[in-house]
């Protein structure tokens, strides 16, 4: 049985992006733009910016929910965030991240979780991490159920502990071979797209001729078919450090703190609200109102 996401209407004159759109961009050599979003305002911003793909990543655990790592976020939390993004998104392809523990145990559980992301949150596709035997089996099952899957190799945050922490992968011949084996296995299993995260540019470049799936890079150099960054990272929406591959295009955290501090100062010194922020009432209506007030002894 095929599970389909709700039909999307064109936004800002754009034809909605599909898997076929992305495959066409790959063939033409046109770079694909992907970004994360976790709420309705973020979706609207991505929509208006004209990006191609929006991922509701499990990075939401840390960026918007305050968890120490990605493994803490639940399916229900991810569904809530993804549904909010869906309501603001019409043009870009929407991909939902299957959180840790929601697909590993069996094909049946994986398919059920993926269906929830499509049926309840309106995803066009789902993403899962790693390319080992179990993940490959889950991909096959989800794809067989009619749900498109994006894979993820290299640095996979859900298994960062096993990988020795949040650090680049594929920097030895053995590690690079593992990345290659996983990417090719996921491709063979039916992934329409695969994320390459934090691997050497030279390794990604060597792999690209073998990749029929659309490859989205994050810290994998410029040879991939497209790039993805976490919205909060590229816009400087947090005060923490950043990974080597992150380029900041704005500093919204500083701007937000500055704006809030100015607001607080004006409230405290009485300059806000000013006359221009207040509503008026006709003099006769005010007089009638005052006359009706009970007298104060």
Q: Which residues make Cβ contacts (< 8 Å) with residue 1, sequence separation at least 6?
A: 145, 146
Given the residues 47, 129, 182, 197, select the one marked as catalytic. Answer: 197
127 burial level (CB within 10 Å; 0-12, 13-18, 19+):
buried
What residue spans of 74-172 are helical by DSSP H?
75-88, 107-119, 133-144
Instruction: Report the number of secondary-structure helices (H) and strands (E) in the chain.
Output: 11, 8
Q: Does domain 19-254 have CATH number 3.20.20.60?
A: yes
Sort residue 77 into left (φ over 0), alpha (ψ -120 to 50) or beta.
alpha
Q: Which residues contact 65 (CB under 8 A, 6 or more apart)?
A: 72, 73, 77
The residue among 51, 31, 110, 43 whose CA lies nearest residue 82 is 43
Residue 188 is among the residues annotated as catalytic for this protein: no
| pLDDT string in tens for the chain (297-residue length) | 444 444 555 555 678 999 999 999 999 999 999 999 999 999 999 999 999 999 999 999 999 999 999 999 999 999 999 999 999 999 999 999 999 999 999 999 999 999 999 999 999 999 999 888 999 999 999 999 999 999 999 998 675 445 455 678 999 999 999 999 999 999 999 999 999 999 999 999 999 999 999 999 999 999 999 999 999 999 999 877 778 899 999 999 999 999 999 999 999 999 999 999 999 999 999 999 999 999 876
Asked whether the beta carbons of 239 and 228 are under 8 A apart, the reply is no
Element (H, E) at 228: strand 226-229
Per-residue HEC secondary structure of 158-183 comes to HHCCCCCCCCCCCCCHHHHHHHHHHH
Distances (CA, A) of 38 to 27, 65, 100: 30, 10, 17
User: Structural domain boundaries of the chain?
Assistant: 19-254
């Amino acid at each position: 049985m095929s599970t389909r996401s709700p039909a999307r209407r064109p936004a800002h004159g754009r034809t909605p992006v599909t898997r076929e759109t992305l495959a066409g961009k790959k063939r033409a050599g046109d770079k694909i733009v992907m970004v994360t979003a976790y709420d309705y305002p973020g979706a609207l911003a991505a929509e208006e910016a004209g990006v191609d793909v929006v991922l509701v990543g499990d990075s939401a655990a840390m960026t918007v929910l305050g968890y120490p790592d990605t493994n803490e976020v639940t399916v229900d939390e991810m569904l809530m965030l993804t549904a909010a993004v869906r309501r603001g998104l019409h043009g870009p392809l929407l991909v939902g991240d299957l959180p840790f523990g929601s697909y590993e145990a069996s094909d049946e559980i994986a398919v059920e979780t993926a269906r929830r992301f499509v049926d309840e949150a309106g995803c066009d596709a789902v993403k899962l991490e790693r390319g080992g035997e179990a993940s490959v089996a889950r991909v096959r099952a989800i794809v067989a159920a009619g749900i498109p899957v994006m894979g993820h190799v290299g640095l996979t945050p859900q298994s960062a502990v096993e990988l020795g922490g949040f650090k680049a992968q594929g920097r030895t011949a053995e590690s690079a071979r593992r990345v290659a084996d996983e990417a090719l296995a996921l491709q063979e299993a039916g992934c329409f797209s695969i994320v390459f995260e934090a691997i050497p540019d030279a390794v990604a470049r060597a792999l690209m001729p073998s990749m029929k799936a659309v490859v989205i890079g994050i810290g994998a150099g410029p040879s991939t078919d497209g790039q993805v960054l976490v919205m909060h990272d590229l816009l400087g929406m947090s005060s923490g450090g950043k990974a080597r591959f992150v380029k900041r295009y704005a500093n919204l955290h500083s701007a937000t703190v500055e704006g809030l501090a100015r607001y607080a100062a004006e409230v405290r010194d009485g300059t806000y609200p000013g006359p221009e922020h207040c509503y008026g009432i006709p003099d006769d209506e005010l007089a009638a109102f005052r006359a009706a007030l009970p007298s104060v002894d």
